[in-house]
Amino acid sequence: MENIYLAIVLAPLFGAIVAGLFGRQIGRVGAHTVTILGVAVSFLLSVWVFKAHVFDGAEVYNATVYTWMVSDGIRFEVGFLVDNLTAMMMLVVTFVSLMVHIYTIGYMQDDPGYQRFFAYISLFTFSMLMLVMANNFMQLFFGWEAVGLVSYLLIGFWYKRPTAIYANMKAFIVNRVGDFGFILGIGALLFYAGSLDYWEVFAEAEGMSQATISIIPGTEWSLLTVACILLFIGAMGKSAQVPLHVWLPDSMEGPTPISALIHAATMVTAGIFMVARMSPLFELSTAALSFVLVIGALTAFFMGLIGIVQNDIKRVVAYSTLSQLGYMTVALGASAYAAGVFHLMTHAFFKALLFLAAGSVIIAMHHEQDMRRMGGLRKYMPITYITALIGSLALIGFPGFAGFFSKDGIIEAVSLSTTPGATFAYVLVLAGVFVTAFYSFRMFFLVFHGEERFRNLEHHAHHDAHHGDEHGDDHGDDHGHGHHGPVEPKESPWVVTVPLILLAIPSVLAGYVVGPMLFGDFFGDAIFVAEANDVLARLGEGYTGVMGFIVHGMMMPPFWLAMAGLASAWYIYMRKPSIAAAAKARFEWLYKVLDRKYGFDEFNAFVFAGGSVGLGRALWRFGDRMFIDGLLVNGSARAVGFISRYARFSQTGYLYHYAFAMIIGLLVLITVFAF
């Protein structure tokens, strides 16, 4: 088995190294062949591993592959822990990654950085697999930082664009903030348990929940609560929870395939997976669970609201990701880990589908991303239209689609939870259902239905209407697509549509494993839930099978809220567009608040960035110039000059002067010692 696990991880790494170092020699076809082969091998082996663990009941594999070093009794190792949770994550990561790899052939065909792009996305897959298969905190941290690094390279892939460089710096810095908390959390666990191995740390969890530490003198804090909250701060950075969410919408600056990969299968799901993996720790700290629950609820509702005012097709999908990650986080906080991970899985399929469908539209519109310049694309792009419809229905939780089962499971679980903050969270996630349906179908109708608004526009290859013209032309240059004249949209080539169709299938069918996933023993010992917190067990008492779940769901508030959102979007944007304009004029202050994303960017720029620059200037002025230069360096030189100026008068060169000085010195010494 060990060789198979190594092959799963190393195949994408091999592809990345070959495409990255020998891209020029092997050319474009060579680059995409070697990376797609690597990920395909990974995917097929992951299917085999999934079958072995889930259907054939293989033993949980937990072993060290390689010991890097042993320091003071602490082992730093590379090791794999493969159970049902890992097997499912491996399958999702490799499948979505394979689809994105194939799709990229069509999307990036005119890009000069073609080989480099394939090397990066293959490396991304390797990093994520290292993260999910880890059996210890060192390897988890390695994978955690590696996905952060590769996302930095990919978001800034078009490095000649100032906005792309700004976005990847933002992603990098915000993630450093989260990772600082993450490594402190790992340090706290290592300090107490004396090991980095998951199982050894979990074995100490009971004792840790009794231990206290004093961060501020005179106050005692539960060690486990502090460690869990610090770990979750890491997850807030990676999985973009408020207030560390600001990097995710900007990550749209990268090419569309990478948006799909970051938002669906890698990076942002890492935080959700990590908290589920750490369930034996989180379950022993109500305060940490409550913190997770409230942060998730705030993200789910308030980030969804921003999606309503976005006009860039990719940004709408980006805010939808933020909102859905909030739902997953809420599930974790309500101790419904299985529901959170189940939603992670279903969301990976339909979110990758939505991003790639958006990319297909962008190709057809010659790299136009503003939905106000689209409309009526349904008849030109039938495959993209149907797959985007499937993705949108799955996203809003329409009965029978994948998102329905996972989202309803989360909302029902939260309603039963007794964790402090659960009622607050329940209200927000319910309201979020309406918001999700509204912005999803606003996007769907604006793009595929209504009048063909691209007809009356002389077209330029703008990247993003929101940014005006400041870098519109760059995008044209990057792609060699600078396009003028009327747009004639047509369906994308097969390398684009086949991944869409293949992702649409699980977007419909992935939810039908709801029984074993939510209420069965699918995850086995991989996820631990304390008896008092087990909301899914209580929910499962009324579970009567998939059809029963669907019928029950259609009588519950989430279904009606979703339908209300869909109907509102249709009425406002298809029948009476004047309502939208009137509402915007009437509630201009609200529109401004949402359009400025609640001012998080300004706050960060003013307080953190401005504060850091101000602090740097003050340190330079007072520390560098006045203290170091003024006092230490120049000051000491001046002091030496001053002393030597007067000391030289005592150096006359006459022998009797020196003899006289020696006699006086001798007399002083005798006097001191005598008395």
**Tell me: the pLDDT tens digits for 439-488?**
999 999 999 998 888 876 554 444 433 333 333 333 433 443 444 556 78
In this structure, which amino acid lies at residue 661? A
Residue 486 has what pLDDT?
Answer: 66
Q: What is the pLDDT of residue 417?
A: 92
Residue 612: inside a domain: no
Is residue 179 within 8 Å of residue 247, measured between CB atoms?
no
User: Is 545 strand, coil or helix?
Assistant: coil
pLDDT of residue 581: 87
Residue of 36, 102, 100, 32 lying closest to 354 (CA atoms): 100
650: domain range?
624-674
Rounded to the nearest 10°, the torsion over CA 29, 35, 37, 43 is: -150
Q: Which residues contact 233 (CB under 8 A, 6 or more apart)?
A: 177, 178, 180, 181, 182, 185, 244
- pLDDT of 456: 66
Does some domain include residue 123?
Answer: no
Answer whether residue 463 is part of any domain.
no
Q: Is residue 642 part of a domain?
A: yes
pLDDT at residue 466 in the model:
38
3-state secondary structure of 114: helix
Q: Name the packing angle between helices 223-238 and 137-155 (round to 10°).
A: 30
What are the b/e assignments for 19-31, b being 16+ CB within 10 Å? bbeebeebebebb
Q: Is 634 part of a structural domain of the chain?
A: yes
Q: Considering only CA atoms, which of 222, 243, 250, 239 is closest in space to residue 276?
A: 239
Query: How many domains, in total, are found in the chain?
Result: 1
Residue ranges of the alpha helices (H) in 510-633?
514, 535-540, 546-553, 557-570, 577-586, 588-595, 600-603, 610-618
Which pLDDT score, from 0 to 100, does residue 280 have? Answer: 94
| Structural domain contains residue 654 | yes
Confidence at residue 476, expressed as pLDDT on a 0 to 100 scale: 37
In a domain? residue 447? no
Contact assessment for residue 221 and residue 253, using Cβ atoms and an 8 Å cutoff = no
Nearest C-alpha neighbor of 289 from the set 419, 161, 168: 419
- Name the amino acid, one letter, at 140: L
pLDDT in tens, 653-664: 888 888 888 999
The low-confidence residues of the chain, meaning pLDDT below 50, are: 459-483
In a domain, 146, yes or no: no
Looking at the DSSP assignment, which residues form a beta bridge with residue 134?
Answer: 80
Nearest to 295 by CA among 261, 264, 263, 332: 332
